[in-house]
C-alpha cells in the first residue's frame, strides 16, 4: 500500500470515528437566553462536531413538560430554583447543575427618550400599558413585580399590566409598540455593551432577587456525551465571552 493510500485510509477512519462520536443534544432554553444560546450552539457545533436542537420557552412551561416526559436532555433555565427542584425530584442528573449566567432586568421602550436613566417614567402619566412576563412562569416577571413592590408602585400600575407568557412574548409586545414600556431581559436589547434601540433603564440589582440562571442535565441526557459536553462548553472562554456580550454577569 502506497503512502497516499495509507493517508486516505486514515482520513476515512478518522471521519468515521468523528461521525460515531458526534451526537445531537436536545436543549430547552429559557426565552431570555435564546439569542446568546444560538451563538453558543453554533460555536459548540463548530468546535465539537456535536449538534444542538434548541427549544425556546418559559422555564415554568418547560418544568411541566419535563415532568410529563418531554424528550429534553438539557435545561437552561431562567432561574436556579427549577433545576434544583428537578434534581431533588429525581428528574435530573444529581451534581450536574451549574450557574451559567446572572441575568439583568431592564425597563425598555422602543421609543427613544421615553425611558430615563433612573426609571422615573414609571411615576409619570406618559404611558398606559406596561408589559411584563408572567411572574408564575418566568423569573424575569417575578423580578419585575419585586421591583415595582420595592418602588411602591405595584398597586398603582397594576391596571396597566400586559402579561406575556414568557420574556420573548413580553419583548414582542414592546418591540411592536403594542405597549409603550416593558420589563425585559437586558440581553434582548443590548449587544456588545450598548442598548441597540429605543431607551432603557437597567434596574439596579438590589431591587429584586438575583436572577441566577442554572443549567442541568436531565434524565434523558444522562447517557448522552453531547449533553455533558455542552455543559462543560458553557464554562469555556468562548461561551463566556458571548454571555458577557449579551449583558449577563458571570
Q: Where in the chain is the domain with CATH 3.40.190.10?
A: 3-102+211-245, 105-202
**Which pLDDT does position 15 carry in this prediction?**
39
**Which pLDDT does position 191 carry in this prediction?**
75
**Which pLDDT does position 17 carry in this prediction?**
38
Look up the CATH number of domain 3-102+211-245.
Answer: 3.40.190.10
CATH of region 105-202, choose from 3.40.50.720, 3.40.50.880, 3.50.50.60, 3.40.190.10: 3.40.190.10
Tell me the whole-structure pTM to 2 decimals: 0.78
**Which pLDDT does position 194 carry in this prediction?**
80
Place of cell 442535565: 217
Q: Which residues contact 221 (CB under 8 A, 6 or more apart)?
A: 25, 26, 72, 73, 74, 93, 227, 228
Query: Residue 19 class from Cβ within 10 Å (0-12 exposed, 13-18 middle, 19+ buried)?
Result: exposed
- pLDDT per residue as tens, the chain (250 positions): 443 443 334 343 333 334 446 789 999 999 889 999 999 999 999 999 999 999 999 898 999 999 999 999 999 999 999 999 999 999 999 999 999 999 999 999 999 999 999 999 999 999 999 999 999 888 899 999 999 999 999 999 999 999 998 888 999 999 999 999 999 999 889 877 788 889 999 999 999 999 999 999 999 999 999 999 999 999 999 999 999 988 899 8
Amino acid at each position: 500500500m502506497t503512502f497516499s493510500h495509507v493517508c486516505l485510509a486514515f482520513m476515512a477512519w478518522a471521519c468515521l470515528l468523528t461521525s460515531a462520536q458526534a451526537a445531537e443534544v436536545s436543549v430547552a432554553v429559557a426565552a431570555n437566553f435564546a439569542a446568546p444560546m444560538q451563538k453558543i450552539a453554533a460555536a459548540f457545533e463548530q468546535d465539537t462536531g456535536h449538534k444542538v436542537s434548541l427549544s425556546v420557552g418559559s422555564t415554568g412551561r418547560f418544568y411541566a413538560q419535563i415532568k410529563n416526559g418531554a424528550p429534553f436532555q438539557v435545561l437552561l433555565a431562567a432561574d436556579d430554583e427549577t433545576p434544583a427542584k428537578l434534581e431533588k425530584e429525581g428528574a435530573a442528573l444529581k451534581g450536574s447543575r451549574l450557574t451559567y449566567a446572572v441575568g439583568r432586568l431592564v425597563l425598555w421602550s422602543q421609543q427613544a427618550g421615553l425611558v430615563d436613566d433612573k426609571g422615573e417614567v414609571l411615576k409619570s402619566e406618559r404611558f398606559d400599558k406596561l408589559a411584563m412576563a408572567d411572574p408564575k412562569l418566568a423569573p424575569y416577571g417575578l423580578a419585575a413585580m419585586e421591583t415595582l413592590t420595592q418602588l411602591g408602585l405595584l398597586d398603582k400600575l397594576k391596571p396597566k399590566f400586559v402579561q406575556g407568557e414568557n420574556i420573548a412574548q413580553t419583548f414582542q409586545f414592546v418591540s411592536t409598540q403594542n405597549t409603550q414600556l416593558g420589563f425585559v431581559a437586558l440581553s434582548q436589547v443590548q449587544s456588545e455593551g450598548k442598548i441597540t434601540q429605543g431607551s432603557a433603564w437597567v434596574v439596579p440589582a438590589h431591587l429584586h432577587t438575583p436572577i441566577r440562571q442554572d443549567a442541568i442535565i436531565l434524565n434523558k441526557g444522562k447517557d448522552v456525551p453531547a449533553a455533558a459536553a455542552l455543559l462543560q462548553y458553557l464554562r469555556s472562554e468562548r461561551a463566556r465571552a458571548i454571555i458577557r456580550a449579551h449583558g449577563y454577569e458571570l
